[in-house]
Amino acid sequence: MHKNTQFIQPKLAITDDNLINELKKKKKNRSKLGFSLAYLPIPLQEDKNKRPKMPRMAFLVNVDSGKPIDQVSDMGIEFIGKPLIDMLVRYVTKYGRPVSISVKDDDKGCYIADFAEKLGIELIEDGRMATVNNLMANIMNMMESGLMADFMKFD
């Protein structure tokens, strides 16, 4: 990137104070989660006169077990923000607040940083993210082989 080039990083902020207060009441559990957001190799083109859209898929993974917990995608919707936050809210509502959420880099972390900060969840930047990287590789292989439905089984 050129030295003078400015990059505007998106930030997803949660403004529902009632929701934040409700989720803050949930006990902390011992879970360490991994979060990933990736483009899927499935171009969607609803209008032949418009450029195809590359949908994204976000995952929550248990870092210790490698087991997927939940996923959302933005296929058919404009922006993944609300489904992504809904996924995090579902987790906290059902299981409590995790100790930490690991992200591969700041580009991914910007989507959940506000959520983590407001709920007292440690956000860890871990470029290795082996658990999530392995999951993403398996998903891409499954998509190519047509076995995605068998693979995507969550708690």
Q: Which pLDDT score is estimated for 104?
A: 81
Give the Cα separation of 103 and 112 in Å (integer).
9
Answer whether residue 10 is part of any domain.
no
In a domain, 4, yes or no: no
Helix, strand, coil in percent for the chain, rounding step 5: 35, 20, 45
The reported pLDDT for the residue numbered 76 is 63
The model carries a pTM of 0.75
Instruction: Count how many Cα atoms sit within 13 Å of the Cα of residue 27 in the half-sphere of its side chain.
Output: 3
**CATH code of the domain in which 84 resides:** 3.30.420.10
Give the domain extent around 118. 17-151
The total number of structural domains that make up the chain: 1
In the chain (155 residues long), the average pLDDT of successive 10-residue segments reads 56 87 95 86 80 83 87 75 90 96 79 92 81 66 61 47
**Residue 38 lies inside a defined structural domain of this protein:** yes
